[in-house]
């Protein structure tokens, strides 16, 4: 099966919310695998951790959040304005946090915690009394440009 056929099958069998949860879970695991970056004090060790995969994990995570920012800015996004604003604020924080980590500062675990919170939100069903999106399949739809 070709990659494109596989992606098409996934898009038809999973909701956008499920796809986003799966992608963000994978990205979070990749970041968490390099959590030692936060506790090491050696500049050499931090550079070594960055070059052994953390830089790639940070790049992929930032790409996800960039897609999220794009989707949140679309007028047809079904999320509430308050939720959109909060997620945009988090996306901007992820950009700053990523730059700080690439500059040698700790913060990988902070990214992991934010991602976990979003994964938890994507996993949860809307509670009664909580504003539900107008579309029951509504999510942030970041999968539109590359899956």
Q: Which residue has the tokens 């939720």?
A: 83
Structure tokens at 65: 């959040």
For residues 39 and 2, the model is more confident at: 39
Structure tokens at 106: 């700790």
Structure confidence at residue 4 (pLDDT): 63
Mean pLDDT over each residue of the chain, to the nearest integer: 83
**CB-based contact 130:8 (threshold 8 Å):** no
Q: Distance between CA atoms of 133 and 137, rounded to whole angstroms? A: 8
Element (H, E) at 114: helix 108-123
Whether the full predicted model's pTM is greater than 0.85, yes or no, is: no
7-11, 42-46, 53-57: which has the minimum mean pLDDT?
A: 7-11
For residues 145 and 79, the model is more confident at: 79
Q: Distance between CA atoms of 122 and 19, rounded to whole angstroms? A: 10
What does the domain layout of the chain look like in residue ranges?
15-123
pLDDT digits (tens, 9 = 90+) for 71-85: 999 999 999 999 999
Select, from the ranges 13-27, 84-98, 111-125, the one with the highest average predicted confidence (pLDDT).
Answer: 84-98
């Amino acid at each position: 099966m070709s990659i494109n056929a596989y992606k098409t099958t996934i898009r038809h069998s999973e909701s956008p919310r499920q796809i986003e949860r799966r992608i963000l879970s994978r990205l979070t695991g990749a970041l968490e695998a390099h959590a030692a970056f936060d506790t090491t004090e050696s500049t050499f060790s931090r550079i070594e951790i960055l070059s052994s995969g953390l830089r790639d994990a940070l790049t992929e995570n930032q790409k996800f959040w960039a897609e999220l920012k794009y989707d949140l800015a679309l007028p047809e996004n079904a999320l509430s304005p308050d939720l959109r604003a909060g997620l945009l604020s988090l996306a901007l924080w992820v950009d700053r946090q990523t730059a700080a980590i690439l500059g040698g500062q700790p913060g990988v675990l902070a990214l992991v915690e934010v991602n976990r919170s979003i994964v938890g939100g994507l996993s949860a069903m809307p509670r009664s009394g909580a504003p539900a999106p107008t579309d029951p399949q509504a999510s942030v739809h970041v999968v539109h440009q590359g899956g």
